[in-house]
Amino acid sequence: MDSLTSLFKYYGTDKEINGYTPYYQRHFEPMRKMPLRVAEIGIGTLIPNVSSSMVGYGEKHYRTGASLMAWRDYFENPASEIHGFDIQPDTQIETEARIKTHLVDSTKKRAVDDYHESNPGEWDIVIDDGCHYDSAQLDTVKNFWPYLKRGGYYIVEDIYPSSRLVTDFLSQFNSAVEDSPWVLSAKRNLLFVYKL
């Protein structure tokens, strides 16, 4: 079971349900055996009625950290590290190999900078699957982009139809990503940026 589709279904994440798998496979398949540092913002809380709760989403067998486990299995190099960032305490996983979780608010610059000062290193891939509000997505890209390697990927998931990320906030977004090339998926709900 090494296809990304199989892994997303096995762990119960909603990435396959949302149609993201073909885009991820297209970009990431050539990288999967490389040693990578991957950051995913939003681990998937199961606390009801909080922002970005996964209650009622994903497969019936979904559990917190499902996508982190799928990424860990997909990026199979033993030196690869998968990191998750969230603000909800139930998202902290301590028992999974090659997965580290952190209580950090991605929208707060000081919190993100403090984390990176204590944990130096750059990311090969950053996936924003956290708070899906466009203003939070803009703040998160501003805060995490400086820590992304040249040649790395920054992905924003779950862009709502009314999102201002690539309309009203377009100039701020382009400035944050240093005018790097980006593309929206066909459904306009997944954004890939390649850092030049």
Q: Number of structural domains, the chain? A: 1
pTM, entire model: 0.95
Please report which confidence band the pLDDT of residue 103 belongs to, taking 50, 70 and 90 as the band edges: very high
Q: Cα separation of 111 and 114, whole Å?
A: 5
The pLDDT value recorded for residue 1 is 54
Question: Residue 153 — φ and ψ, nearest 5°?
Answer: -115, 140
| CATH assignment of the domain containing 50 | 3.40.50.150
Domain that holds residue 59: 4-194
Report percent pLDDT > 70 for the chain. Answer: 99
CA dihedral over 44, 147, 82, 170, signed as positive or negative: positive
Q: 36 versus 49: which is more confidently predicted?
A: 36
